Amino acid sequence: MHSRERVIRAIEFRNPDRVPITHATLPGASKRHGERLRALYAQYPSDVADVGAATSGEWTPEIGVPAPDTWGTLWVRYTDEHKGQAVGHPLADWSALADFQPPDTAGDGTMAAIEANIRRNGGKYTLADGDTLWQRMFYLHGYREMLEDLVLCPEASAALRDMILTVMLRRVERLCRLPGLDGIHFRDDWGTQEALMINPQLWRAFFKPAYACLFGLARDAGKHVWFHSDGAIASIVPDLIEIGVQVFNPQVGAIGRDKLATLCVGRVCIQADIDRQWTLPYGSADDVRAAVRADYAAFGGAEGGYIGRGEVASDVPLENVRAMFEELLRCA
């Protein structure tokens, strides 16, 4: 079974030959491990090809040197391990919103590059970035300010949401017309370690309809909807599934494996998040293998519903990366 079919079958609960593998790497890991990590990835190749990001700039070219992203937010990166901090917000003052010119993330050149990447994918499942909504809002306006103004300035907040949504919808519309593209990936970190960042009722009223538009557009075109969100977001997981998420990449440890399984099993395919706060960096290879087996038992099975993944940072030993991949391949 080739990679594309394997991933599709896992997503659609149609008996893949094994668990698909995906890679997730922070720049610090590439800098620390270099060719040894590349060789390990070649031995355990990803079944998914990421064929096009929506924006750039969150990882600035030089440590300590501010640089803008595609939308004009100013970032500073302090380590090779983490993306930068947003330090300059072009819409810090709401008065700037009226004249703000958002970028076109779906231009002809962008789409041509994605098409070329699809052609080069070598039989893998192809996945393009649909961008971020909530995070873009606070990148542009400021995090604390955005949290406050969802309540204090709802009309301005809605105008910002809708401007970003318009850009995202144009991109998704054009992605949906690309032959050979299998899925569209959306991403918004919605949780702290303890709870949703905002009241779930506010999330449902203010954000859920926007996501439903994006996800519905993709699904109507026959593209799979992937969604990533870190943190303790159990309160909105049923909503995300209801409006069309088919592959969900949560922070398992923040939600709890058993609680997440209750919410998700048989309803949505889980893209794994082998614990990156403790197990992958500080656990033994046996700890990593046990975590993979526990996740597979909770979320997967012979019919599918599970995609392997573990984020490799510079503090993750290569023996743990190898153990993760080896154990994933035993999950058949």
230 alpha carbon, distance to own chain's centre: 9
pTM above 0.75, yes or no: yes
Q: What is the pLDDT of residue 207?
A: 98
Spatial contact of 111 and 173, defined as CB atoms under 8 Å apart: no
Q: Distance of alpha carbon 238 from its chain centroid, rounded?
A: 18
- What is the average pLDDT across 122-134? 96
Residue 81's pLDDT is 81
Q: Could you tell me the pLDDT band of residue 67, with boundaries at 50, 70 and 90? A: very high
Q: Which tens digits make up the pLDDT trace of 258-312?
A: 999 999 999 999 999 999 999 999 999 999 999 999 999 999 988 999 999 999 9
Q: Give the tokens for residue 217.
A: 């557009």
Cβ contact 185:127 at 8 Å:
yes
pLDDT in tens, 94-109: 999 999 999 999 999 9
Measuring CA to CA, which residue among 211, 306, 315, 312 is closest to residue 264?
Answer: 306
